[in-house]
Structure 1
Amino acid sequence: MWAAELLSIAGDQLARVALSVLVFQRTGSAFLTGLTYALTFVPALVGGILLAGLGDRYPRRDVMVAADLARAALVGLMVVPGIPLWALCALVALMTLLNGPFKAAQQALLPDVLTDGKYVTGMAIRNITSQSAQLVGFAGGGALVSAVSPSVGLAMDAGTFLLSALLLRRGVGHRPAARRTPTRPSFLASTGAGIRLVWRDPGLRALIALCWLAGFYVVPEALAAPYAGSLGGGALAVGLIMASDPVGSVVGGIVFGRWVPERVQVRVIGLLGVAAGLPLALCVLRPGLIASMVLFALSGMAATAYNIQGTASFVRRLPDEQRAQGAGLLSTGLITVQGLGALVAGALADRIGPAHTIALAGMTGAVVAVPIALGWSRARPKWSAEE
């Protein structure tokens, strides 16, 4: 599971660089670049919410393998020469649709694989290595796309999905479906039950809202191409900007996963949600490339620290028979808000410029995080007592 995820992440980030450069080269529009980037996130709203329950109905490994094979086929079609922009966007949307049930099944299976105290430690290690894979995909993607073509990056992404499916099929043991009742509820009924489960628990509500702050903090990645253009950079600068957040995430994962006790992490995740937006707000000063990369890395460091513990606490709280549905709601909402953030940022950047848009996103995220942090501080003591 670990190796398969690394392959898929590296390929996905490579594809995002390729798509961003391809669309910006064709159109020169920050809005259309943001729209295309948004399509790598938004359609998971449907796939993740309505199809997340597949990970409870069927063996979770099988759901992941099937999603990987389908995504490999869709990305392969993007490589067809001369494909119209609308068709490319449709394929991106369909590929993203399948990310929802894959992530739900994966997150639901992890607590079964990593038992006892290994789960949080494993989540920290997984985050460090997945962010490293993003770093390789973004930075390497920028260099590769500048040297060859966006089509090569897309072809490599299709190959990573195939390898991921092979690793999962051969390297992960079979486990029966978690929901073994004779009758299965409809997809809508299962979705409604998952939403009610989260909504009725103040702690789960606070944690899911905290994770969804990523809708504000994804903006530097979404606007990497026009932001690099405003600094006079090319494809390599795009990759470096996109890689800045993963660099900070790796550092954050190491620091908090290795040296900060879990009980402390649980207490401070709300504050870190606020802190993640403050470095982005400094983009209003129009820093250069290196300074911008440092600011984006600091934001990624804080965001990773709260996301690791927030996700672990959230998933462990869910009952096994609804774990995929609940995890799907978390991951789907996360992907969707990132897509919406990219879409809004692209439209706004055409009016006020990419630097001011990133600064506005950071400040807004920090302000929104304040009531979420307060809600978590109220729910946490009662939650801990119940456990």
Structure 2
Amino acid sequence: MACLTPVTTGATGRFLSEVLTGDVYVLGRSLHYLVVVGAQLVGMAVGGVLIVWLGPEWTVLVTAGGHLLAALISRLFLPYTEVVGADGSIVRKTLRGNAALVATPELIKLIMVQCLPAGYLAAAGSLVIPYAGQRAFSPAETGPVLAAISVGMLIGDLVIGPVCTPATRERLVLPLLLVMGAPSIALVLDPPYPAVLAVYVITGIGPRRTFGCHRWVIERSPARLTGYRRLTTRYERTAHHVAAFLTLAAALTCYKKHTT
């Protein structure tokens, strides 16, 4: 699953970037995350019932069947887009694209801002079970703690995406980075159970800092600049910026025509 998940994630990101432009892209990602997290919460509840009813082995088998059903639905009902690998190997194109991204210093910093802090969330999530065991939480108490991070993500999708303005989302990047790691420090004090739930809910809101980073990544990505994609995404805040890049694109087009 860890090897295959990036394939579906990349395909989803490409599809959204093609059909949505500007700040609507951010809102589309917010809606996408909302659906994913909602499905995750429902899946946790259903999985808990199945484990009690069928046992862990049969639950894993049902989960595998669910993945096959999702693949069938994707194959039959999702719209087709242009075939990416028509002009060469998608693996080679991916490696070349990654090399271009790594060669862009500003973009590397943004990628680190988006990816490295996920370790905060992974650390917090990985400590739920041992922490619950140390605090002698019952299974009924441990379950809500496990779901608390997803609840925080759901809150972030509902508030930070649709409600906040683009400028506010960008100003929230640093505070949300701190929210991902700082609340867990309070667990050292062995707070009461409601406070533990609150800590994990607040921690779950932090990953939605990515909503404030989307414009920065789009504006600096070489892949967006190739073929004048920056004009396609229309992510500039002011009209004269759009006009400037339109003029630059026209000049480059004329130069290419002249040299050939």
Q: TM-score, normalised by structure 1?
A: 0.52
SS of 2:217's equivalent in the other structure is helix
Partner residue of 2:203?
A: 299
Query: 1:211 and 2:130 equivalent?
Result: no
Query: Match for residue 26 of structure 1?
Result: none
**Could you say if the C-alpha distance between residues 263 and 180 of structure 1 is closer, same or farther in structure 2, counting changes exceeding 3 Å?**
farther
Match of 2:167 among 256, 263, 266: 263
Q: How much has 1:314 moved relative to structure 2?
A: 3.1
3-state secondary structure, aligned to 1:257: coil
**1:263, distance to aligned residue in structure 2 (A):** 2.2
Does 2:14 correspond to 1:108? yes
Task: Report deviation, 1:272.
Answer: 1.6
The 1-side partners of 2:65 and 2:180 are apart by: 34
Mapped partners of 1:270, 1:241: distance in 2: 25
Measured in 1, the distance between the counterparts of 2:97 and 2:55 equals: 46
Aligned residue in 1 for 2:73: 167
CA 1:205–1:271 in structure 2 vs 1: closer, same or farther (change >3 Å)? farther
CA distance in 1, matches of 2:27, 2:65: 30
Query: Is the Cα contact below 8 Å between 2:169 and 2:211 reproduced in 1?
Result: no
Moved more, 312-321 or 157-166: 312-321
1:239 aligns with 2:149: no
2:129 is aligned to 225
Equivalents in 1 of 2:176, 2:201: separation in Å? 14
* Deviation by residue 1:39-91 (Cα, 9 ceiling, x = unmatched): xxxxxxxxxxxxxxxxxxxxxxxxxxxxxxxxxxxxxxxxxxxxxxxxxxxxx
Q: Distance in 1 between matches of 2:153 and 2:15?
A: 23
1:121 offset after TM fit, Å?
1.1
Decide whether the 8 Å contact of 1:198 with 1:205 is kept in 2.
Answer: yes
How many Å separate the matches in 2 of 1:118 and 1:164? 26
Q: Is the 8 A contact 2:120 2:180 kept in 1?
A: no
Which residue in 2 is equivalent to 1:275? 179
Quote the residue 2:104 is aligned against. 200
Output the CA distance in 2 between the equivalents of 1:110 and 1:316: 16
Q: Using the TM superposition, give the Cα deviation of residue 146 of structure 1 relative to its aligned residue in structure 2, in angstroms.
A: 4.2
**Structure 1 residue 121 corresponds to structure 2 residue 121:** no
Do the aligned residues in 2 keep the contact of 1:128 with 1:254 (CA within 8 Å)? yes
What is the 5 A alignment of 1:50-65?
none
Higher relative contact order structure (alpha carbons within 8 Å, sequence separation ≥ 6): 1
Deviation of residue 291 (structure 1)?
Answer: 1.6
Per-residue deviation at 1:98?
1.6
Gaps of 5+ in 2: 227-240, 246-260
Report the secondary structure of 1:258's partner residue.
coil
Identity of aligned residues (%): 25
- Quick one: structure 1 residues 317 and 140, their matched pair in 2 at CA, closer, same or farther if it must change by over 3 Å? farther
Q: Residues of 2 paired with 1:191 and 1:143: CA distance? A: 43
Judging changes above 3 Å, is the alpha-carbon distance between structure 1 residues 166 and 123 closer, same or farther for their aligned structure 2 residues?
Answer: same
Query: d(CA) in 1 for partners of 2:73 and 2:19?
Result: 16
Task: Mark the CA change 1:239 to 1:139 in structure 2 (over 3 Å): closer, same or farther.
Answer: farther
The residue identity in structure 2 corresponding to 1:293 is L
Q: 8 Å contact 2:152–2:205 — kept in the other structure?
A: yes
User: Structure 1 residue 280: deviation in Å?
Assistant: 1.0
In structure 1, the partner of 2:64 is 158
**Cα distance change of structure 1 residues 170 and 185 upon mapping to structure 2, 3 Å threshold:** closer
Q: Distance in 1 between matches of 2:81 and 2:185?
A: 46
Report the equivalent of 1:250: 154
- Cα distance in structure 2, aligned partners of 1:96 and 1:216: 19
CA distance in structure 2 between the partners assigned to 1:158 and 1:316 by the alignment: 39
Matched position secondary structure for 2:2: helix
Mapped partners of 2:206, 2:9: distance in 1:
23
Offset at residue 137 of structure 1 (A): 2.4
In 2, Cα distance between the equivalents of 1:144 and 1:289?
Answer: 26
**2:181 alignment partner AA:** G
Bigger CA radius of gyration: 2
CA–CA distance in 2 between the matches of 1:156 and 1:265? 39
Q: Which runs of 4+ in 1 moved over 6 A?
A: 384-387
